Amino acid sequence: MNKLVNKVAVVTGASKGIGAAIATSLAAEGAAVVVNYASSKAGADAVVNAIVAAGGKAVAIKADVSKAVEAQALIDAAIEHYGRLDVLVNNAGIYEFAPLGGITEEHYHKQFNINVLGLLLITQAATKHMSDGGSIINIGSLIARRMPANSAVYAGTKGALNAITGVLAQELGPRNIRVNALNPGVVETEGAHAADLVDSAFGARAAAESPLGRIGQPGDIASVAVFLASSDSYWMTGEQLYASGGRR
């Protein structure tokens, strides 16, 4: 209950799904948490209210991570509210699938802008304030390793995320800022339902492929994020971890 006391965390895309679970779990360990959202104010407010009701600290801040001005404003708001920044979870992301012939400029730019450019913009703004070291957790995907058909752009964004994780671990290590990638397998979230990854042949196959016999839940990822955020993982940086129920 106290691994992150006196720490401040920003979790992007925390209005629902994996981000909401990570924000809640970081707060349960004592961190003050900035719950970022793009459009779902009600979802972000519900996450904040649950954290506060449990005795934690949190605030909801709207920002589209793919816009430099908004990314900067999100980090400015975090500093204004809590005065420091120790943990950044780059979770905001979208996933859309298309075969090669179906890839359009829009399909490409939308996913790369949020999943890759957004990560870079937020990290650039956040690391200016990580004066006392820190932990950055980039939420990738098992898809970058399994590379299934029809995922060229989305898998490309997550492959880039894993590569960027290694590069930034090199650049930020001398400042004692650790950077690690946490790659989930299929997790039951609103986004996964909308993409038909859960109640579908795909979801059933994913569950069957796991030695543990099911797909993931957001809390399965949040507990690993707490580990990466805390000093329990102090000697780990530049790593690509997989939380996929053994499907790697």
The residues that touch ligand NAP, with contacts defined as CB under 6 A, are 12-19, 36-40, 43, 64-66, 91-95, 114, 118, 139, 141, 184, 186-187, 189-192, 197
By beta-carbon proximity to ligand NAP, the closer residue of 132 and 196 is 196
154 is catalytic: yes
Shortest reach from residue 178's CB to ligand NAP, in Å = 19
- C-beta separation of 11 from 91 below 8 A: yes
Parallel/antiparallel/unpaired status of strands 57-62 and 134-139: unpaired
By beta-carbon proximity to ligand NAP, the closer residue of 5 and 145 is 145
* Nearest residue to 85 (alpha-carbon basis) of 139, 31, 45: 31
Shortest reach from residue 13's CB to ligand NAP, in Å = 3
Question: In a 10 Å sphere around its CB, with 0-12 CB exposed, 13-18 middle and 19+ buried, how is residue 119 labelled?
Answer: buried
Tokens encoding 146: 């399994």
Active-site residue among 82, 95, 154, 242? 154
By beta-carbon proximity to ligand NAP, the closer residue of 85 and 192 is 192
Interatomic CA distance for residues 162 and 140, integer angstroms = 7
The amino acid sitting at 221 is I
Supply the residues annotated as catalytic. Answer: 154
